[in-house]
Structure 1
Amino acid sequence: MSLFFKRWLYLSFFLFLSVFGISAEDLSIDIQKSDKAPVYLAKSMLVLEDPTNHLDFDSIRSLAYESKFINVPSSEEAFNFSYSKSTYWLKVQLKNTNQTPKEIAIVISYPRLQTLDLYFQNPKEIKKIPSGYSVPMVERPYQSRFFVFPISFPENTNATVYLKVKSPNSINLPIQLWNRDLYDRHEINDHVIQALYFGIAFAMILFNLFVFFILKDSNYFLYVLVVSSTAFTIASHNGIASEYLWQNSPWMDQYSVNLFISIVLILFLVFMRSLLNTKNLIPKLDRMSVVIILLQIILPILYIFSFESFIKIIVLSHAFTAFWILFVGTICSLKKERIAYFFLLAFAFLFLALIVSTMRALGLLPTNSFTIDGPQYGSTAEMMLLAFALADRYNTIIKEKETAETLVKLNLEKSNFELEEKVKERTQTLNRTLSAMRRDLFVAKKIQENSLVTDPKLINELNLVYRYLPVSEVGGDFFDICQLNESKYRILIADATGHGVHAAMITMAIKGLYDNIKNFELAPSKVMEIFNEEFMDNFVSLNSLLTALILDIDLFEKKIQFASAGHPAAVLLQNGQLSLLTKTGRMIGLKKQIHYEQSELSFGSKDRLFVFTDGVFEAFNSKDEEFGEESLYHLFQSTRHLTLSEVEDHLLKTLQNFLNGQDRQDDLTILGIDF
């Protein structure tokens, strides 16, 4: 092409822009827009497809290829090129109108891209940042489950960002522009959510493994296998596995998701055949299920030996197998199998998520946050509903046993000796089961007690003495002590509604939430607000509430800052006078965006602080008389001359005398501090 013709093309282009009122600057995206929220770039990017896979960066910047970049239809959030052998080049114009440099990040939130190189071109330099799963995690510019390109954008500058993409997997490109600080915070929140999902999965695995060892029912073990394999599939799908399990294995990044999906479907088919008893209920369809199991064993082997030949086949087979499981579940439901209702509803969520993921991979649906994270949402719902199915099954077994015992009693007159032998045998079986359950409750008690163990160094530094007495083996009270800096300590005490196993499960869950935020150097009221938001986001479905009190004790400044979410008032004894640390807000779990006030008290040497749950004073004797807060306050004042340990022992003895043989109705926790 002659120099004259090149100049004519440039002149024509700028005349076109002028006629329609568009300047070259208008085509650029101002990075200031990312200061408040991420900016989706898909609609603003031009695309060049290279079927030959021979073009390099210098080539695509030449005038011959500059005009071949075109607008490609996409969703608001992402491009979806499905499975393609081509290399794709994308570019977008960015500008920084600020007079200071800006730290930004280009984020591609899809972890299965083999080659993903970014070129940053401005008037001063051209910078290349290689990434993709072919690059080891430690060599990437930002170690994350997604591909993140941190860029220092010079002040008052226009720049062009190019992306080179090639992958044997489906090519999906959710591209966002982030303010670097905002993304760092988003990354922390994202890991909290991932930790919650895998924490729930681990809890379900552990609990049902215990049940399996108790009941020796293979369905519980199959459920554990299904949940475990699903969790691994999700970890591989969303990049968590690449970030933590195999940081330098392109082979696993390329093959793992479809291999794990095949394993999940195989285990789900086996679990379905066992749980729904399809061999006897629908024998013809059951034989077809066996054939599909064999197919899901053979296809992954062929897929490993010839990826490109079988990738679409195995993806379609996953969709077909999921449809088959849904179909069999529907047939069993129509035959009025009670447990099939739970199974069908549980798998419907996973089926929908799998179909959405498959259609996105084949380019039939757009790539966005729903289609990317859909399997994770579906997996969570499926886990819970299958657990309900197993629980209902166990309940049905118990009812069947009770019916059998009733029949035994009705026939007692006809065959006393024979029935007595059967009753003895069944009683022994039940006793063994109850003994095993007691042993498991004892283990749960030890686990909860260990979770409450505080560093002896902190206890000594605070001169702290505590008593923790649940009503049963496990309880719903919880406390935590941590050190914020050299002189400041933070204490949390919380009380979930109810007691026993249900309340204990909730306290263990909130411990996981609180551990993530307790070391934030924020005011207690702000920590309480974050705590309430996290609880509402993750556990509102449990229909449970809790009271909580957070105290920051500064031994150097001799001050106590606190926020109370409907918790019983703590007591501060000063020179024989009693001060109450009353509530500053409503209980946690009522609603989102609750505002908590904050109060502050000063203390001196020889002052004494008591923090406790309502089980300390809400004790009723046989006459339905309550021990009450006033009696508790009087006890604290009258025992000022005793040590903390003696005071708390005296309190427990006084409560025991007051109850006069009556059992306590609530868990009891009390912490005492001598300043």
Structure 2
Amino acid sequence: MIVWRFCFYLISTMVFCHDLLAKERVIYVNQLSDLPIYMVPSLSVLEDPTNELEYEEIKNNKSNYTFQTFPFSGEAFNFSYSKSTYWLKTSITNPSDQMIETSIVVSYPRLKILDLYIETADGVKIIKSGYQIPSKERPYRSRFFVFPIVFPKQTNATVYFKVKSPNAINLPIQIWRKKEYDRHEIDDHVLQALYFGITLAMIVFNLFVFVILKDYSYFLYVLVVFSSAIAIATHNGIASDYIWDHSPWLDQYAINLFISIVLILFLVFMRNLLHTKQILPKLDRLNWVLILLQILLPIFYIISFDTFIKWLVLSHTITSFWILLIGIVCSLKKQRIAYFFLLAFAFLFLALIISTLRALGYIPTNVFTLEGPQYGSAAEMMLLAFALADRYNTIMKEKEIAENNVKLNLEKSNLELEEKVKERTSKLNQTLSVMRRDLFVAKKIQENSISVDPKLKDQLRFVYKYLPVSEVGGDFFDILHLKNLKYRILIADATGHGVHAAMITMAIKGLYDPIKEFDLHPNKIMEIFNEEFMDNFVSLNSLLTAMIIDLDFQTNKLEFASAGHPSAVLLQKGKLNLLSKTGRMIGLKKQTHYETIEIPFEKDDRLFVFTDGLYEAFNQKEEEFGEEKLHQIFLETLHLPLYEVEIELLRALQKFQNGQERQDDLTILGFDL
């Protein structure tokens, strides 16, 4: 960098040797129109490597350094990373007979010291600025550094700038008519609002898609967009103006730190989106190396800014090249989504490279090189959104194909089942007497399947009653001693009753027995149970409600999960507590999630678990017995032993029906805790 700058100075000296000493290049403010005048061609520069010179020494030429001109500076000076203090000088004249209000604008927000000295016949006015000055104390609050200056009629002024910063020193300096710059500020706010508005919309929309699809690519995209927006806000000065009001430390360090965060998230997003671990396993290992590099270098950069700043900027370029290379390789492997990814990152890569080269001083500073990262970020954000939209479209097509296949298989299974049912029905009609005998046997088998281990009766104080409408029914329950003082209760109710429902209860037992002793919470047991039921019996078009309750007498806690089952009743201190459903019925949908609820209980609390046949009983007036009447009986019989509560309940139910037949199977279990 030192060699490059020396060559630049040498060439300037050889070509313009007669212009080595600063010569007056006057700016006439009466020539200002709708557009600004770039002041750089009219400025002469003095570099103070000692950082000790003051304004009076500069003004009176008491230093050993002289002002020099740089005729090829274009729109801005670019001194890259320098430890020197720079003084800039020019003359500004208002030869007209009218006062002219102007705004001198330095449209680069990462300058720590930026002081303006304006010398007229009335004296010297000093205006201090730079990011070390809080924005509310600057002469004009803006994301850039703005100096409102009024030039009275027939005025000549000499203007000096003092500039020093640990960041790359870029000086795009313009002078505007004040009213034109105010209008320009409004237009700029609209453009910034548009960019950040689109960013917010992308974040909210893709968060919504992530919640629906549970695809982490969308969440990683949100993180990439969010971190990119913060980096852009830091780069263009909006963060300093709106996010942190006054933090010189963040103004100095934040931009490169946020670029590292963006690249880390981009590497993770790329691995997830392009599946580099499977497609490019050898190259994928280097992704982790670069992620580690982008974690470690910022730490060293914070410890020693001057030593590591250029290394960090170089690492950003290397990492960007690597991401671009991976995108190219995946595109050559004809990954459809890689085409979108490559095109999206190409824009961001180009903008990042331009910004890096500008910061290092290899290319000039102008509007394009300053605002390029924001344009590249906007293009990258939109193209990545298209990539994810294409991914979503692909997922939906695959899902549609899968659903069609499932539908065809289900229709085929239903047809096969219908044929089997017809065949079985014919045989059943021919062997009705045999079936009746078989039903009697089935009844005994079902009674045995829901029989309770006598040891449990010694360990638990409980009663139960199972009354099917016909010989066999669709209710099922199971009580299991898990370990120590912990017990698990299952109660289930298949839709319908009779033989069909009884077959489902046998299926319930077959599915539940292998999983009931798993050391899992009730909701996890219920989820496994639902998956097994859907995998094996979805073609039966049957549903069932179920509840699993774990009683732990060691911790005096009750955990339960309910798949659409009627609310169990826990009586505590004379008050009624309902254990409501925590998820949908078994057999409705795969990947259904259930919640486990934990409730403490005390000695002498009482628990009732039952099926809906207990309260969905009707009398001759078609009036329903109902849950309220059932709950009232539970409260009124608190003083009775459990077996008497059962007798009293069945007596009340029979009295209510008054000879009307029950329409559903009935099961009730009562526990004294």
| SS of match in other structure, 1:145 | coil
CA offsets per residue over residues 614-672 of structure 1, 9 Å max, x none?
A: xxxxxxxxxxxxxxxxxxxxxxxxxxxxxxxxxxxxxxxxxxxxxxxxxxxxxxxxxxx
CA offsets per residue over residues 393-425 of structure 1, 9 Å max, x none?
A: 111111122333444566679866779948999
Q: Tell me the equivalent position of 2:391.
A: 393
Structure 2 CA distance for partners of 1:96 and 1:429, relative to 1, 3 Å:
farther
| SS of match in other structure, 1:54 | coil
Q: Tell me the equivalent position of 1:236.
A: 234
Q: 2:277 aligns with which of 258, 274, 279?
A: 279
C-alpha contact (below 8 Å) 1:117/1:165 kept by paired residues: yes
Q: CA deviation at 1:33?
A: 1.9
Alignment of 1:612-651 (within 5 A): none
Q: Tell me the equivalent position of 1:173.
A: 171
Structure 2 CA distance for partners of 1:366 and 1:405, relative to 1, 3 Å:
same
C-alpha contact (below 8 Å) 2:410/2:539 kept by paired residues: no
Q: CA deviation at 1:185?
A: 1.1
Q: 2:49 aligns with which of 48, 51, 54?
A: 51
Q: 1:252 aligns with which of 234, 247, 250?
A: 250
Q: Tell me the equivalent position of 1:359.
A: 357
Q: Tell me the equivalent position of 1:402.
A: 400
Q: Tell me the equivalent position of 2:610.
A: none
Alignment of 1:594-613 (within 5 A): none
Q: Tell me the equivalent position of 1:336.
A: 334
Q: Tell me the equivalent position of 1:316.
A: 314
TM-score of the superposed pair, with normalisation by structure 1: 0.58
Establish whether residue 157 from structure 1 lines up as the match of residue 127 from structure 2: no
Q: Tell me the equivalent position of 2:367.
A: 369
CA distance in 1, matches of 2:110, 2:401: 55
> Which sits farther off after the overlay, 152-161 or 191-200?
152-161
Q: 2:344 aligns with which of 335, 343, 346?
A: 346
Establish whether residue 71 from structure 1 lines up as the match of residue 101 from structure 2: no
Name structure 2 gaps, 5 residues minimum: 1-17, 418-534, 544-586, 594-673
| SS of match in other structure, 1:47 | strand
| SS of match in other structure, 2:167 | coil
CA distance in 2, matches of 1:340, 1:291: 22
| SS of match in other structure, 1:229 | helix
CA distance in 2, matches of 1:392, 1:240: 33
Q: CA deviation at 1:248?
A: 1.0
| SS of match in other structure, 1:63 | coil
CA distance in 1, matches of 2:539, 2:260: 46
CA distance in 1, matches of 2:234, 2:96: 40
CA distance in 2, matches of 1:374, 1:428: 53
C-alpha contact (below 8 Å) 2:46/2:88 kept by paired residues: yes
C-alpha contact (below 8 Å) 1:120/1:126 kept by paired residues: yes
C-alpha contact (below 8 Å) 2:114/2:130 kept by paired residues: yes
C-alpha contact (below 8 Å) 2:48/2:65 kept by paired residues: no
C-alpha contact (below 8 Å) 2:199/2:225 kept by paired residues: yes
Q: Which amino acid aligns with 2:248?
A: P
Q: Which amino acid aligns with 2:262?
A: V
Establish whether residue 270 from structure 1 lines up as the match of residue 294 from structure 2: no
Q: Tell me the equivalent position of 2:112.
A: 114
CA distance in 2, matches of 1:46, 1:286: 51
Q: Tell me the equivalent position of 2:304.
A: 306
Q: CA deviation at 1:102?
A: 1.6
Structure 2 CA distance for partners of 1:215 and 1:423, relative to 1, 3 Å:
farther
Structure 2 CA distance for partners of 1:162 and 1:392, relative to 1, 3 Å:
same
CA offsets per residue over residues 33-81 of structure 1, 9 Å max, x none?
A: 2233200011111000111111111111123559811112544211100
Structure 2 CA distance for partners of 1:308 and 1:277, relative to 1, 3 Å:
same
CA distance in 2, matches of 1:404, 1:303: 52
CA offsets per residue over residues 81-115 of structure 1, 9 Å max, x none?
A: 00000110001111001123221111000000000
CA distance in 1, matches of 2:175, 2:539: 72
CA distance in 2, matches of 1:186, 1:308: 36
CA distance in 2, matches of 1:73, 1:166: 22
Q: Which amino acid aligns with 2:211?
A: F
Q: Tell me the equivalent position of 1:95.
A: 93
CA distance in 2, matches of 1:396, 1:420: 30
CA offsets per residue over residues 137-184 of structure 1, 9 Å max, x none?
A: 111111100000111112101111100000000000000011111111
CA offsets per residue over residues 548-578 of structure 1, 9 Å max, x none?
A: xxxxxxxxxxxxxxxxxxxxxxxxxxxxxxx
Q: Tell me the equivalent position of 1:196.
A: 194
Q: CA deviation at 1:345?
A: 0.7
Name structure 1 gaps, 5 residues minimum: 1-18, 434-675
Q: Which amino acid aligns with 1:259?
A: L
Structure 2 CA distance for partners of 1:155 and 1:284, relative to 1, 3 Å:
same
Q: Which amino acid aligns with 2:115?
A: D
C-alpha contact (below 8 Å) 2:104/2:173 kept by paired residues: yes
Q: CA deviation at 1:429?
A: 6.0
Q: CA deviation at 1:199?
A: 0.5
Q: Which amino acid aligns with 1:199?
A: G
CA distance in 2, matches of 1:242, 1:227: 19
Q: Which amino acid aligns with 1:111?
A: P
Q: CA deviation at 1:188?
A: 1.1
CA distance in 2, matches of 1:346, 1:429: 38
Establish whether residue 40 from structure 1 lines up as the match of residue 38 from structure 2: yes
TM-score of the superposed pair, with normalisation by structure 2: 0.58
Q: CA deviation at 1:215?
A: 1.1
Q: 2:141 aligns with which of 134, 140, 143?
A: 143
Q: Which amino acid aligns with 1:353?
A: A
Q: Tell me the equivalent position of 2:603.
A: none
Q: CA deviation at 1:122?
A: 1.1
Q: Which amino acid aligns with 1:128?
A: I
Q: Tell me the equivalent position of 2:295.
A: 297
C-alpha contact (below 8 Å) 2:413/2:539 kept by paired residues: no
CA offsets per residue over residues 255-277 of structure 1, 9 Å max, x none?
A: 11001101100001011101111
| SS of match in other structure, 1:248 | coil
User: Percent of pairs identical after alignment?
Assistant: 64
CA distance in 2, matches of 1:336, 1:270: 21
Q: Tell me the equivalent position of 2:628.
A: none
